[in-house]
Amino acid sequence: MKFFIDTANLDEIRKFKAMGLLDGVTTNPSLVAKEGKEFRPLIAEICEIVQGPVSAEVVATEADQMVAEAKELASISKHVVVKLPTIREGIKALARCVEAGIKVNMTLIFQPVQALIVAKVGAAYASPFLGRLDDISQDSMDMLAEIREIYDNYHFSTQILAASLRHPLHVAQAARIGADVATIPPAVFDKLLDHPLTAIGLEKFLADWKKGKG
């Protein structure tokens, strides 16, 4: 499973890059707005740091404008993956981006049939939002498993990018189901390695070592 970080914060990106854990980055308009920086240079800097897929989202909602924005974003770096919303105009824009050789991550997926459609049209990534579905009491893992089954049935090469992850369990469950990528917010990334017994065990080892050395 590939690990992407779901943030536009450069310090967080550098931190997890240093741990050798980072395969890519996803951003969205909300995450970029939080940083208060200019969009294009920020994406360029993220690409420079990560040297892997970096999702940057369009804000247009009409296909012609989406494609224009997509071309502009794709020109920033070979690492940019353009993010388009899974709406009718987004599907039209996806078809044109695929034709133009632009890699696309289709976002805001909440049901398996949306994932089927974006794969048919040629998306590089499909992003089901797990946490937001759980928030409205629908089992996100059922959706994820159905998407995996559909993609396997037809050997689609579109990668399933599990998004809107809220806790380490989401990451583990998505891995069991076979999501290709997990995009993990920094706060969740931080929790992945923590277990109280790991900390207690290490403390005891070090205390015993000190005692043994007299």
The residues annotated with a catalytic role in the active site are: 83
Enumerate binding residues for ligand G3P (CB under 6 A): 6, 26, 28, 129, 131-132, 163-164, 183
**In which residue are the tokens 């069991």 written?**
176
**Least Cβ distance, residue 69 to ligand G3P (angstroms):** 17
**Least Cβ distance, residue 162 to ligand G3P (angstroms):** 9
The helix/strand/coil state of 73 is helix
Give whole-number Cα distances, 184 to 141, 158, 163, 201, in Å.
16, 19, 7, 27
> Which CB, 173 or 183, lies closer to ligand G3P?
183
- Return the sign of the alpha-carbon dihedral for residues 111, 116, 121, 126: positive
Which residues are CB-contacts of 24 (< 8 A; sequence separation ≥ 6)?
Answer: 2, 4, 5, 50, 52, 53, 54, 55, 81, 181, 183
**Least Cβ distance, residue 132 to ligand G3P (angstroms):** 5
> Which CB, 25 or 76, lies closer to ligand G3P?
25
Contact 162, 132 (CB under 8 A): no
> Which CB, 187 or 207, lies closer to ligand G3P?
187
The helix/strand/coil state of 157 is coil
> Which CB, 126 or 163, lies closer to ligand G3P?
163
**Least Cβ distance, residue 27 to ligand G3P (angstroms):** 7
